[in-house]
């Protein structure tokens, strides 16, 4: 696009009334209009277009704006895509704006809602005959439609003797129906922009897979909020157990970015920009998937699972993607008996300094005690041996996922929430340390945490994931009454102003601890536990 | 009593009589006199009447004045064998001191008028009377000829009567029996030891407590502060207000601290129960001529009661400047148990983190004291004519009943003779205001057989009604937080607009926060230095792809414009990435994923890279001193004006910055002011509001929600996570909002937080902050 821009005073731009020719309703997501000179000769056409007929609340809504010079001579208009300009304007009407909301780039960015601001120079562009300017504007940032329903948007351009109006374009906004959600973390990865949250939105045709990056707060400007919310695939109706993998590097710096899920007895993995997921048939619906999926810098994706019919741990591997030619199929590397029937499990990848070893922890309930089985599976191929520790006089907390993190030296730290008196809801947290050889180091410490005011519904422990030598460990317990107790609540039970995503997913940043939740609109996001 | 009388027998033829009388005697006068003034003699009812002269209000300055102790004995037959002086105080039937006049020789007991010189000293009776022939009545030794006895009466530690037990009753008792088994005659008189006035002054620097090892000398900074209206060596006079500036360069270390109580705890950790201000009082004794004299030994162990009075919010120096809605919020929120706490008032209540109503937090903390004059042990310290450095000299104890008040004791000798004092410790809460009073707490009352000090009561009336001569009061101490604006630097002089610092300061003034301008006029970065820092910053970017975002092809990032950083366009970025990585289009698309796959997303992404990179660059320009650093550009990056690009008027980094960023509390911060030249046109928003807003972030303030519907709900969110629970729900133009339809000012909730109140103990509905 070749633009020649200069500034003239807005005061010199007299508004001229023109008769507008509105095109009839076209495709629900596109529309165009033409403008006339006073005598009705077309000059400039403005067109709006959406990629999709409907969007979720909070989803990126890219609206393509095209301005075309339909005259035989050059025209000069304000650059539609320059922030300081107050033309063109857009009017959005719908449930969020029943009376219509008119805005311009300037009013959105600078909060200057004056129709013709004094003392401001417009930045102009010249369009040759037939020349177009086109760009996609992020409508959700300019005028967020937060209520579900049908919307209509119209663009208008008025500048000197030029006037144009687009045909109205319609789109629909729907409420997210999150069926399964997962947070992927680049653990201790310098420069990582944030966490990768993915979720299924339930639709009649299947589970629509959405992805978003939640950029970590780094200035006052942004909170811990979604960036680039987009739908990337529609999975089958039975799709569940969505997994956004955890890594030990900044995945933005690499090509392969997996996500995976389960459909019945099959695991499916999808690489960004691919339209076809890889499918791995397990033969039977697994008893459980061990969270999280682990993604290696080479592009391999590992998923531990527990077999359905027996206490057996398996490892499924999706090989690094091939950018040309056929893909190497995913396969189950091995299955290994677990000493007792698991009630919870967690896996983790060691830092690259510790060879990215895959460690797995299984929690099992035995008579009167909780058994903790741990294994360093090395690169996932060289199997280790289960090492077992027992925590007497305790019961595994229902729905509690253990915390597991591998330090720089390959030592694993594990934390398990327990009930020491299930009837009275007295609870505790056990801390265990396993050496790189997989053996328990030191004694298991059990720290009483008090008494819950209601029965626990779910719980999770997690270690800090930001670059830090400290092995800070946080935890949260969700009670049946909807309240939470967490490591920062100083023993108090506190309400949660959002709906927690189950299973609970806790992200411990050095500056705060966040829980994956859904807001009132059903949008995934993070709630700071304070 | 047995007495032998011998009578001559009369001849039988005579009629004269011999009469045997029991010899009688009286004390006809006992009075103190000086300069034509005299105390009144009180005589036994059956004694011959006196002349009724003198007054019961007689007073003198012990040690400084020598009075005549006049007494008259009627004992023509010389039968008196014993005489003693007894000194009594109120409510005590037993004497405080007794002196055996017999030990002054018989002359002291003889019939007639007697005068002894006395300066109020308490002396021990001699072991024996002067030997015969040493002199007659005229040679009776004066009481001033004996040394004051320091051990005789613990209540008179310097051996003089003191104001602490005034008024006194001095009684002379004579008897014709050495054991007072026969007739006893008495007379008595009253006298007073009074204060003329108490004068208050700031204590010397040496009386401040030592700073904790390795910590800032905070109290000294408060003491020596010479900023606007600081007390700076003088106490506020009656009707005057002086500020107590608490250095408060305390900034957030992470964005998470925007949403928790870190502001409260960090400030609490720095200032705890408040600063220490030494306040001394000099007690002047009233002499017989009603003049003020220094008579330190007359102070003895008397207590001085120190009281802190809460000055109402409406009397605050900034009260009139609040936004009407902020004022309403404050009026309601400070109205919390105003009449039931001790002291009464509206300073920050203990439930909100303040000291009002907290019996465990003292306004005048206990002090051990040293040197002369502290109660109980006068000899424990060598003579102290020079003050110890950074040690408080006076003993201070909390009151028994009036628990928020304390007693202090005076030095009666040495360099601080006649003085007493306290370390006044107001709360750390900005806007809390106090008047400090000191009272001579000598007056006693009897209740249930026990004596207690009249002023040691939870009631305020006895203090308010106290005689003017025994009290003194300061003006108002107003607590302020003081932050330092230490650097104002622009990329270039052409960066506009300048912001009016006075207007910006005024916003913070409403929260009793002084933004001290230590920066002065804006300075500019230089081309060579800036370009070098940008190049280094680009090279230091942690991610390879960011180096393709930041342009390395512009000749000079400095010359590129008034904006902070120049970025490549999306098209150039893609081209460069493909070339650098040797990628196909498919691979490029895989890399771009869902976050860099449109022009708008790329422009938005670069905003974060820009602010992050710019933060690192500006960090290198920070001043060494604690405080706030401002760096100004016109836009933080060139793509700010493009679709998807982010327009920022300013930003404050989320993470800690500066040389001390690893400290638990950060004493330095920076923020970037990066509005375009015309960004402030067309709305009520102004650069000074942006400055106040960004510093608000540095001071732990999260955004306020904006645009409320008729039900008060947020219908349009703002860029950052707002924190609606900590902003006045009824005010839509808080400085921490992005609502520019009116001038933004602090909401009442923010004002209270800036003042140091605990956000966790306040509601965003002011009516719920009121009690009852």
Q: Give per-residue pLDDT as tens, B279-318.
A: 999 999 999 999 999 999 999 999 999 999 999 999 899 9
- Residues B636 and B648: their CA atoms lie apart, in Å, by 7
Q: Would you call B719 an interface residue with chain A, using a CB distance cutoff of 8 Å?
A: yes
pLDDT band at B455, cuts 50/70/90? very high
With an 8 Å Cβ cutoff, are B683 and A112 in contact?
yes
More confident residue, A26 or B664: B664
Chain A interface mutation, best of B257, B584, B593, B705, highest count of A Cβ atoms under 10 Å: B593
Nearest to B643 among A81, A118, A220 (CB): A81
- Residues A160 and B146: their CA atoms lie apart, in Å, by 111
**What stretches in chain A show pLDDT beneath 70?**
1-42, 218-220, 468-469
pLDDT band at B449, cuts 50/70/90? confident
Q: pLDDT value at position A402?
A: 98
Residues in A touching B710 (Cβ below 8 Å): none
Q: In 3-state terms, what secondary structure has residue B590? A: helix
User: Which residues 251-290 on chain A approach chain B with CB closer than 8 angstroms?
Assistant: 252-253, 255-257, 271-274
Q: pLDDT value at position B384?
A: 65
pLDDT band at B720, cuts 50/70/90? very low
Residues in A touching B542 (Cβ below 8 Å): 190-191, 250
Residue B527 above 80 pLDDT? Answer: yes
User: Which residues 195-254 on chain A approach chain B with CB closer than 8 angstroms?
Assistant: 211-213, 215, 217-225, 227-228, 230, 232, 250, 252-253
CA A224 to chain B, closest CA, distance in angstroms equals: 8
Structure tokens at B723: 């924190």
Angle at alpha carbon of residue A475, lines to A470 and A480, rounded to 5°: 175
pLDDT more than 90, % of chain B: 77
Mean pLDDT of B335-362: 95
With an 8 Å Cβ cutoff, are A117 and B604 in contact?
no
B404, B343 contact by CB (below 8 A): yes
Q: pLDDT value at position B221?
A: 95
Q: pLDDT value at position A28?
A: 41
With an 8 Å Cβ cutoff, are A83 and B640 in contact?
yes
B515, B248 contact by CB (below 8 A): no
- Residues B6 and A441: their CA atoms lie apart, in Å, by 115
Mean pLDDT of B76-89: 93
What distances in angstroms separate CA A50 from CA A169, B192, B317, one per listed residue?
Answer: 8, 98, 58
Mean pLDDT of B157-164: 93
Mean pLDDT of B319-336: 95
Residue B642 above 90 pLDDT? Answer: yes
- pLDDT tens-place string over residues B468-503: 999 999 999 999 999 999 999 999 999 988 889 999
Chain A interface mutation, best of B251, B253, B255, B669, highest count of A Cβ atoms under 10 Å: B255
Structure tokens at B456: 């040691």
HEC string of A112-171?
CCCCCCCCCEEEEEEECCCCEEEEEEEHHHHCCCCCCEEEEEEEEEEECCEEEECCCEEE
A43, A162 contact by CB (below 8 A): yes
- Residues A205 and A236: their CA atoms lie apart, in Å, by 8
- Residues A100 and A218: their CA atoms lie apart, in Å, by 35
Residue B131 above 50 pLDDT? Answer: yes
- pLDDT tens-place string over residues A398-449: 999 999 999 999 999 999 999 999 999 999 999 999 999 999 999 999 999 9
pLDDT band at B597, cuts 50/70/90? very high
Q: pLDDT value at position A462?
A: 97
Residues in A touching B720 (Cβ below 8 Å): 217, 220-223, 225
Nearest to A273 among B541, B590, B646 (CB): B590
DSSP A84: T
**Mean model confidence pLDDT for chain A:** 89
Chain A interface mutation, best of B594, B598, B709, highest count of A Cβ atoms under 10 Å: B594
Chain A interface mutation, best of B538, B563, B589, B590, highest count of A Cβ atoms under 10 Å: B590
Q: Which residues contact B563 (CB under 8 A, 6 or more apart)?
A: B633, B634, B635, B636, B637, B638, B640, B674
pLDDT band at B26, cuts 50/70/90? very high
Measured from the Cβ of residue A496, the count of other Cβ atoms closer than 10 Å reads: 17
**Mean model confidence pLDDT for chain B:** 91
Q: pLDDT value at position B375?
A: 47
Angle at alpha carbon of residue B632, lines to B628 and B637, rounded to 5°: 125
A453, A468 contact by CB (below 8 A): no
More confident residue, A69 or B711: A69
Nearest to A190 among B542, B593, B703 (CB): B542
In chain B, the residue whose alpha carbon lies closest to the alpha carbon of A218 is: B654
Q: pLDDT value at position B394?
A: 94
With an 8 Å Cβ cutoff, are A228 and B601 in contact?
yes
CA B543 to chain A, closest CA, distance in angstroms equals: 6
Q: Would you call A4 an interface residue with chain B, using a CB distance cutoff of 8 Å?
A: no
CB pairs under 8 A between A and B: 186
Q: pLDDT value at position A13?
A: 31
């Amino acid at each position: 696009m070749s633009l020649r821009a200069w500034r003239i005073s807005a005061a010199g731009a007299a508004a001229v009334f023109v008769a507008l020719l509105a095109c009839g309703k076209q495709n629900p997501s596109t529309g165009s209009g033409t403008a006339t000179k006073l005598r009705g000769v077309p000059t400039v056409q403005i067109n709006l277009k959406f990629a999709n007929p409907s969007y979720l609340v909070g989803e990126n809504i890219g609206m393509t704006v095209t301005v075309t010079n339909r005259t035989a001579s050059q025209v000069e208009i304000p650059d539609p895509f320059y922030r300081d300009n107050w033309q063109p304007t857009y009017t959005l009407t719908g449930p969020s704006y029943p009376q219509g909301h008119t805005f311009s780039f300037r009013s959105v960015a600078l909060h200057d809602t004056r129709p013709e601001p004094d003392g401001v120079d417009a930045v102009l562009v010249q369009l040759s005959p037939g020349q177009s300017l086109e760009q996609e504007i992020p409508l959700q940032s300019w005028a967020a439609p937060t209520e579900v329903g049908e919307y209509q948007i119209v663009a208008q351009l008025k500048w000197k003797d030029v006037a144009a109006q687009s045909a109205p374009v319609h789109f629909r906004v729907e409420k997210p129906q999150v069926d399964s959600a997962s947070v992927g973390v680049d653990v201790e990865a310098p420069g990582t922009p944030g966490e990768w949250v993915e979720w299924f939105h339930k639709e009649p045709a299947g589970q629509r897979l959405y992805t978003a990056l939640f950029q970590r707060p780094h200035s006052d400007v942004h909170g811990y909020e979604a960036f680039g919310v987009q739908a990337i695939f529609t999975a089958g109706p039975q799709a569940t157990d969505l997994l956004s993998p955890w890594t030990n590097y900044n995945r933005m710096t690499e090509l392969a970015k997996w996500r995976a899920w389960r459909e019945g007895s099959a695991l499916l993995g999808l690489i960004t920009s691919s339209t076809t997921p890889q499918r791995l048939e397990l033969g039977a619906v697994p008893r459980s998937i061990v969270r999280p999926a682990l993604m290696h810098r080479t592009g391999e994706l590992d998923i531990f699972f527990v077999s359905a019919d027996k206490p057996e741990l398996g490892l499924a591997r999706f090989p690094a993607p091939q950018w040309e030619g056929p893909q190497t199929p995913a396969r189950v590397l091995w299955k290994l008996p677990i000493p007792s029937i698991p009630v919870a499990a967690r896996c983790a990848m060691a830092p690259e300094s510790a060879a990215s070893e895959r460690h797995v922890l299984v929690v099992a309930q035995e008579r009167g005690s909780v058994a903790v089985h741990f294994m360093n599976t090395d690169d996932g191929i060289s199997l280790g041996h289960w090492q077992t520790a027992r925590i007497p006089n305790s019961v595994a907390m229902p729905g509690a996922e253990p915390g597991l993190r591998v330090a720089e030296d390959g030592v694993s730290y594990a934390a398990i929430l327990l009930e020491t008196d299930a009837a009275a809801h007295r609870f505790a947290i056990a801390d265990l340390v396993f050496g790189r050889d997989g053996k328990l180091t030191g004694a298991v410490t059990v720290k009483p945490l008090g008494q819950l005011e209601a029965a626990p519904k779910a719980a999770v422990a997690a270690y800090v994931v930001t670059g830090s030598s400290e092995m800070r460990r946080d935890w949260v317990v969700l009670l049946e009454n909807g309240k939470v107790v967490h490591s920062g609540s100083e023993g108090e039970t506190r309400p949660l102003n959002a709906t927690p995503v189950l299973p609970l997913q806790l992200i411990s940043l050095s500056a705060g601890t966040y829980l994956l939740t859904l807001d009132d609109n059903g949008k995934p996001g993070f709630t700071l536990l304070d | 009593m047995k007495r032998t009388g011998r009578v001559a027998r009369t001849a039988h033829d005579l009629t004269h009589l011999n009469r045997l009388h029991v010899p009688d005697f009286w004390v006809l006068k006992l009075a103190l006199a000086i300069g034509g003034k005299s105390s009144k003699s009180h005589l036994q009812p059956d004694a011959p009447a006196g002349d009724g002269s003198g007054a019961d209000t007689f007073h003198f300055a012990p040690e400084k004045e020598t009075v005549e102790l006049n007494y008259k004995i009627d004992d023509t037959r010389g039968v008196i064998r014993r005489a003693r002086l007894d000194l009594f105080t109120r409510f005590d039937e037993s004497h405080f001191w007794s002196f055996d006049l017999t030990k002054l020789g018989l002359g002291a007991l003889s019939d007639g008028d007697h005068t002894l010189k006395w300066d109020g000293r308490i002396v021990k009776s001699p072991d024996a009377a002067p030997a015969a022939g040493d002199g007659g009545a005229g040679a009776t030794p004066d009481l001033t000829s004996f040394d004051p006895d320091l051990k005789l009466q613990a209540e008179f530690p310097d051996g003089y009567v003191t104001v602490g037990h005034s008024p006194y009753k001095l009684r002379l008792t004579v008897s014709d029996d050495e054991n007072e088994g026969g007739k006893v005659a008495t007379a008595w008189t009253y006298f007073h030891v009074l204060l003329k006035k108490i004068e208050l002054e700031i204590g010397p620097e040496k009386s401040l407590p030592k700073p904790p090892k390795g910590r800032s000398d905070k109290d000294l900074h408060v003491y020596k502060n010479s900023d606007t209206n600081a007390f700076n060596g003088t106490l506020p006079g009656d009707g005057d207000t002086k500020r107590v500036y608490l250095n408060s360069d305390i900034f957030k270390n992470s964005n998470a601290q925007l949403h928790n109580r870190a502001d409260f705890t960090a400030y609490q950790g720095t200032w705890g129960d408040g600063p220490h201000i030494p306040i001394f009082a000099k007690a002047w004794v009233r002499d017989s001529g009603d003049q003020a004299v220094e008579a330190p030994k007359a102070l003895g162990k008397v207590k001085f009661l120190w009281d802190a009075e809460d000055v109402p919010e409406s009397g605050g120096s900034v009260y009139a400047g609040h936004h009407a809605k902020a004022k309403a919020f404050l009026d309601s929120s400070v109205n919390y148990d105003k009449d039931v706490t001790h002291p009464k008032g509206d300073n920050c209540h203990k439930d909100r983190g303040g000291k009002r109503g907290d019996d465990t937090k003292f306004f005048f903390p206990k002090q051990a004291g040293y040197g002369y004059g502290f109660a109980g042990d006068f000899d424990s310290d060598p003579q102290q004519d020079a003050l110890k450095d950074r040690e408080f000299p006076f003993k201070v104890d909390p009151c028994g009943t009036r628990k928020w008040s304390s007693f202090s004791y005076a030095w009666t000798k040495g360099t601080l003779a006649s003085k007493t004092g306290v370390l006044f410790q107001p709360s750390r809460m900005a806007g809390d205001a106090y008047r400090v009073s000191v009272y001579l707490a000598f007056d006693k009352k009897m209740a249930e057989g026990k004596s207690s000090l009249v002023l040691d009561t939870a009631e305020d009336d006895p203090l308010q009604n106290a005689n003017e001569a025994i009290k003194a009061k300061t003006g108002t101490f107003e607590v302020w937080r003081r932050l330092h604006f230490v650097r104002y630097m622009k990329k270039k002089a052409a960066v506009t607009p300048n912001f009016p610092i006075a207007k910006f300061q005024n916003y913070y003034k409403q929260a009793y926060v002084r933004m001290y301008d230590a920066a002065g006029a804006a300075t500019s970065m230089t081309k060579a230095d800036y370009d070098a820092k940008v190049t280094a910053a680009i090279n230091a970017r942690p991610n390879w792809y960011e180096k393709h975002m930041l342009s390395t092809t512009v000749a000079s990032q400095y010359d590129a414009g008034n904006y902070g950083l120049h970025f490549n366009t999306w098209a150039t970025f893609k081209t460069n990435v493909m070339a650098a990585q040797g990628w196909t289009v498919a691979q490029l698309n895989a890399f771009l994923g869902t976050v860099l796959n449109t022009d708008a997303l790329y422009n938005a992404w670069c905003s974060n890279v820009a602010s992050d990179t710019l933060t690192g660059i500006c960090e290198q320009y920070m001043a060494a001193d604690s405080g706030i650093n401002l760096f100004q550009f016109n836009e933080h990056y060139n793509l700010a004006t493009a679709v998807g690009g982010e327009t920022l008027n300013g930003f404050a980094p989320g993470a800690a910055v500066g040389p001390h960023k690893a400290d638990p509390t950060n004493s330095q911060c920076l923020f970037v002011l990066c509005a375009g030249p015309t960004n402030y046109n067309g709305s009520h928003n102004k650069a000074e509001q942006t400055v106040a807003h960004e510093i608000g972030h540095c001071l732990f303030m999260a955004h306020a929600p904006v645009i409320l519907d008729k039900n008060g709900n947020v219908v349009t969110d703002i860029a950052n996570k707002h924190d609606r629970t900590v902003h006045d729900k009824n005010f839509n133009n808080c400085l921490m909002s992005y609502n520019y339809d009116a001038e933004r000012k602090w909401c009442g909730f923010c004002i209270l937080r800036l003042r140091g109140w605990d956000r966790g103990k306040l509601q965003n509905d002011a009516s719920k902050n009121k009690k009852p």
